[in-house]
Amino acid sequence: MKIPQHVAIILDGNGRWAKAKGMPRNYGHAQGSKNVETICREAWNMGIKYLTVYAFSTENWKRPDDEVNELMKLLRNYMKTCLKTAEKNHMRVRVIGDKTGLDEDIRTRIDELEKASANNDGLNFQIAINYGSRDEMIRAMKRMAADRDAGKLGINDITEEVFSSYLDTAEIPDPDLLIRTSGEERLSNYLLWQLAYTEFYFTDVHWPDFTKEELAKAIEAYNRRDRRYGGVREE
């Protein structure tokens, strides 16, 4: 079986999972957060090298204040937990998204986590926080424009590869497989540039119930796809 090098996941359904159990939405977010560590471990055991998860989007700020506050509290706690997990499992952790929109203490914890795990040789784990693909591309174009104004970049120097180097995911290969849980079938402003040739897999399973068996199902479905590039089938 061919294992995708890079899997991206939209972690959806935490709130609906909690509601179905008669629990508050924040309980679902907490359980979903715990499941991330499990899937990181299982992904690495399966041979996946890169895993990128959509944790908090630029649009999530529009949610009720109490839910956003709880998500930020959960994020703070998760940064501590992830630091220990990265050390234990030798994960390299990177955060993509507009970090300037986060509180200073969260930015500090992100910086500590990225620096502490920078030389780890296990799973490359990317967390999208305050991330939106359109926002990412706008930020990239602003940096490109600044470099052009400074004489560092000519108009004819701009290629797909150069543009990619200005994105948050620079030096990270594009995903081979995208998984979205909880039955929704849209990208929700996630990795729009990077997903150009990615296979999509949608499942009705809510994220807290997404197990290694469900991950295996997604990879099996990926293997059944007839992947072609420019008319040539990928072997």
Active site positions, annotated: 12, 60
Residue 102's SS3 state is coil
Q: Which amino acid is at 209?
A: D
Burial of residue 187, with CB atoms counted within 10 A of its CB: 0-12 exposed, 13-18 middle, 19 or more buried: middle
Please list, residue by residue across 147-169, b when 16 or more beta carbons sit within 10 angstroms of its beta carbon and e when fewer do. eeeeeebeeeeeeeeeebebbbb
Distant-in-sequence, close-in-space partners of 64: CB < 8 Å, separation ≥ 6: none
Phi-psi region of 90 (alpha: psi -120 to 50; beta: other; left: phi over 0): left
Pair 49, 6: CB distance under 8 Å: yes
Pair 13, 208: CB distance under 8 Å: yes
Distant-in-sequence, close-in-space partners of 191: CB < 8 Å, separation ≥ 6: 8, 52, 128, 133, 169, 175, 178
Pairing of strands 228-229, 232-233: antiparallel
Residue 201's SS3 state is strand
